Chain A
Amino acid sequence: MIERYLQQLALELAQEGVRGRAAKRVVAEARDHLLELEAEHGERGAVAHLGKSATLARAVAVQLATTWTRRATYGAFLALALTGIAYLAVFAVVNLGGGWPDLFGGDIAALGVGAVIGATLFPQVAFVSGCLALLRAFRLRAGHALPAGELRVMRSRAAIALVAAALTWVCLALFAIEFRDAPPLEPWVPAAVLGLCVAAAIALACGAIALARSARPSAAAGPRVGGDVFDDLGPIFELPLLRGLRAHPWRFAAIFAGAVAFCAFAMGIASEGDPQGAVLQAFVEGLAVLASFALLGRPLALRR
């Protein structure tokens, strides 16, 4: 009877998405527990004391779903932070190795320009998504058995951040290949940038594997849709001026896009001193924020 119970437990753990080492551990502990109980209560009594295998499997899965998702989110943010350092290293390498080439001076002009634009915009998506994922994980850090909707938002934000970071490195790899012979870059620079791409890819792959694994166990039942960014930043949206934004997420997006555009304009003026270029930069950045909000607003839980 005990062996049948353990087989059933293994099966139900697998159905709940708990497999491999985690499942083996649960079954081994249940076996030890049942054999201890058996001496006192007999096989039937032992099984009755431990409770239904389905209940145990479900409780373990709910527990692991929360723990693994929260841990994977922190892990994804760590991977992003490491690739962020590598991203800054690319700038240092290019500046040390002769400076930036003419953006239209590559083999295929469109590819070079596209790579540079991608390497500028994708990191911003990765940064914002990663921060949102971290914010959700931190806000719900005390939750023992978080509902599926909340865990889905956490994973979705972390996944978008990792994909955006991966696209950044694809763009940087394209940049290295496209401008490998372009002056004033020294010949060692493309190889160094490609080396950083490989290092970043390894860090991002580790984050992605942990995130995929965290999606396997069944989470606790609850609302299908998790909270939005207004829940994450609750106290801020209680301020009198911002209180109304919750009902109008697009208004919030427009204000945010305006703020980003203003920052881009100020930075453009400060670094280049060219008002026309700064206006163009502000326009592109503001538009990118609105486009990202339209495209990623729901998966990032910026709006319901």
Chain B
Amino acid sequence: MRAEVLRGHLDLLLLATLERGPRHGYAIVEAIRNASSGAFDLAEGTVYPALYRLEAAGLLSSSWTTAAGRRRRVYQLTRRGRTALEDERREWVEFAGAVQAVVA
């Protein structure tokens, strides 16, 4: 899938992935790739600026943990993030339904 198509929906994908539980950057990318059966193969570096932005907007929180002797930043959804996800998901369903109605 083209990167620019994916970029427009990156926030929704990140929020929806973190709804299933806290994850670090690599695990988020893996979760998106697996859930989409490889269709969403993100340029992995693009995930971090988006995570910082969502955190600055109060939709995510993060903290350092240690795993296998390595420092790791783990992200999780905040209450505001959960609300934003519900809104974005509703918008997406409406949008996808409308596109489907026109295209199909």
Contact partner of A63 among B26, B52, B73, CB < 8 A?
Answer: B52
- The answer to whether B2 has its CB under 8 Å from any CB of chain A is no
Minimum C-beta distance from B69 to chain A (A): 10
B44 & A50 in contact (Cβ 8 Å cutoff): yes
B70 & A32 in contact (Cβ 8 Å cutoff): yes
CA of A50 to CA of B73 in the docked complex: distance in angstroms? 16
- The answer to whether A67 has its CB under 8 Å from any CB of chain B is yes
Instruction: Convert B10-47 into 0s and 1s, putting 1 for each residue whose CB lies closer than 8 angstroms to a CB of A.
Output: 00000000000000111000000000000000011110
Stretch at the interface among A21-29, A91-99, A222-230, A241-249: A21-29
Contact partner of A60 among B44, B52, B73, CB < 8 A?
Answer: B52
CA of A31 to CA of B43 in the docked complex: distance in angstroms? 16
Instruction: Convert A12-52 into 0s and 1s, putting 1 for each residue whose CB lies closer than 8 angstroms to a CB of B.
Output: 00000000000001101111110111000000000001111
Minimum C-beta distance from A50 to chain B (A): 5
A55 & B53 in contact (Cβ 8 Å cutoff): no
- The answer to whether A71 has its CB under 8 Å from any CB of chain B is yes
- The answer to whether A304 has its CB under 8 Å from any CB of chain B is no
B45 & A56 in contact (Cβ 8 Å cutoff): yes
A29-B73, A37-B26 known; A51+B53 contact, CB < 8 A: no
B25 & A60 in contact (Cβ 8 Å cutoff): no
Residues in B neighbouring A300, C-beta threshold 8 A: none
Residues in B neighbouring A213, C-beta threshold 8 A: none
Residues in B neighbouring A64, C-beta threshold 8 A: 52
Residues in A neighbouring B71, C-beta threshold 8 A: 28, 32
A49 & B49 in contact (Cβ 8 Å cutoff): no
Contact partner of A56 among B48, B53, B73, CB < 8 A?
Answer: B48
A50-B44, A51-B46, A59-B46 known; A29+B25 contact, CB < 8 A: yes
- The answer to whether B72 has its CB under 8 Å from any CB of chain A is yes
B24 & A32 in contact (Cβ 8 Å cutoff): yes
Using a CB-CB cutoff of 8 Å, which residues 59-83 of chain B contact chain A? 70-73
- The answer to whether A144 has its CB under 8 Å from any CB of chain B is yes
CA of A56 to CA of B51 in the docked complex: distance in angstroms? 13
Residues in A neighbouring B1, C-beta threshold 8 A: none
Contact partner of A29 among B46, B48, B53, CB < 8 A?
Answer: B48
Contact partner of A59 among B26, B45, B56, B70, CB < 8 A?
Answer: B45
Minimum C-beta distance from A255 to chain B (A): 38
Using a CB-CB cutoff of 8 Å, which residues 159-207 of chain A contact chain B? none
Residues in A neighbouring B49, C-beta threshold 8 A: 56, 59-60, 62-63
CA of A25 to CA of B51 in the docked complex: distance in angstroms? 12
A144 & B48 in contact (Cβ 8 Å cutoff): no
Minimum C-beta distance from B41 to chain A (A): 9
B56 & A28 in contact (Cβ 8 Å cutoff): no
Residues in A neighbouring B25, C-beta threshold 8 A: 29, 32-33
CA of A71 to CA of B49 in the docked complex: distance in angstroms? 17
Residues in A neighbouring B45, C-beta threshold 8 A: 50-52, 55-56, 59
The residue on B at minimum CB distance from A68 is: B56
Minimum C-beta distance from A173 to chain B (A): 37
Known: A32-B72, A37-B44, A50-B44. 13 other contacts (CB 8 A): A30-B48, A32-B70, A33-B26, A35-B70, A36-B26, A50-B45, A51-B45, A56-B45, A56-B48, A59-B45, A60-B49, A64-B52, A144-B53
Query: Would you list the 4 A-B pairs with minimal beta carbon distance, nearest first?
Result: A51-B45, A56-B45, A36-B26, A63-B49
